Structure formats: C-alpha cells, structure tokens
Amino acid sequence: MRVFDHFAFIAPLYARVAYSKTDMMRSVASLPVRGNLLDVGGGTGRVASAIRDLVDEVIVADVSLGMLKEAPLSTLRPVCSGSESLPFADNSFERVIMVDALHHVIDHNDTARELLRVLKPGGVLVIEEPDIRTFGVKLIAVAEKLLLMRSHFLAPDEILKLFLNGEKQVKAVDGTAWIIIKK
C-alpha cells in the first residue's frame, strides 16, 4: 500500500513561505553559536535558512524527499531521515531544533531520545510547536485529521515529560509554544 506524502505535495508552496519567528528562535536557541545545528523535520529548510548565518553549518533532516528537494543545497545539507533514528553520532550538534514537526512524528518518545542523543553536552534543543491549548490550533488539528495526516499534537507540559534530563523551560506566545531543553 502506497501512502500519500502530504508534504511532498505542499513542498513547493511551503518553500516560499518565510519563517516569521526568527528573533524568538535566535533568543530561545541562544544563537549565534560556533558549531553545527541540526533542524529535524526541517523540510524545505525555511527555518534553517532564516538562521543559517548564526551557526557554522546547518543540516536539515526530514523524512520527505519532496520537501528536501526544495531545500537550498548551496547553504544547507539535507539528509533524508526519520526523527526516531537519526543517522548521526552521539553528541554531534551544538543546537538541535524541531519546528512545527513533533506532532507529525510516529513515536514521540523515540524522537525525544534521539534529539537529546545527538545534542552535545551544554547544547540547546528547541522544539517549536503550535500550542494545542489554543482554539485556533485545535481547529488545525481537526483539519489535519480530516486530511488523513498522522498528526498528534501534544500540550507543552506533555512535551516536557518526554525529556527526563536537562534544564527545561516553556515559552508560549500567540498560539506557539517553544520547549527549550539545555543538556
């Protein structure tokens, strides 16, 4: 049975949408920093492109080849991979981000374990998710279910529970939540 890749379908349009929360990401991810950043579920690289000049190298990992094909190859390094089993050594990245993607993964626990595994000690992990506690995001969640997407939104406190170690913090503004973990 072939599964429809919603993300490959929307990739050309998605690649044209600018990331509007660069200042907040810069703050919560403690950027700039010397070293490498991994954008997990980064799709077309739209977020990674917005912060590219704040780190030495950016790798975008995504399971959708259709999304990765839209990533700018001259500035980003795309890697086709699911978030539950990342093809990187332990402690590889100074920063790891996941923007608007956690609700799409198959296994939240495995993803959380992998995100921390590849993060260097002293590094910062940022998960930016639509805040399911807000009415607008609840409507988005229903729409994604109707589109047969495998979305499963978690509230910020549920995301925090995925991480047993590290200094944890949540910032929520206008329907978006940032979960920040310092390893």
Return the pLDDT at 92: 98
- Contact 56/71 with Cβ under 8 angstroms? no
Look at residue 125 and tell me if it is in a domain: yes
Share of the chain above pLDDT 90, in %: 70
pLDDT of 2 = 47
Q: Is residue 1 part of a domain?
A: no
CATH number of the domain that residue 98 is part of: 3.40.50.150
Confirm whether 42 is domain-assigned. yes
Residue 89: inside a domain, yes or no?
A: yes
Q: Identify the burial level of 8 via C-beta atoms within 10 angstroms of its C-beta, where 0-12 means exposed, 13-18 middle and 19 or more buried.
A: middle
Place of tokens 């920063």: 95
DSSP 54: G
Q: How confident is the model at residue 19 (pLDDT cuts 50, 70, 90)?
A: confident
pLDDT interval class at 5 (50, 70, 90)? low
The confidence band for 67, taking pLDDT boundaries of 50, 70 and 90, is confident
Report the number of distinct structural domains present in the chain. Answer: 1
Quick one: DSSP state of residue 81? -
Q: What is the pLDDT of residue 1?
A: 42
Angle, vertex CA 37, rays to CA 34 and CA 40, nearest 5: 170
- Domain of residue 166, residue span: 6-182
Question: 146 pLDDT band (50/70/90 cuts)?
Answer: low
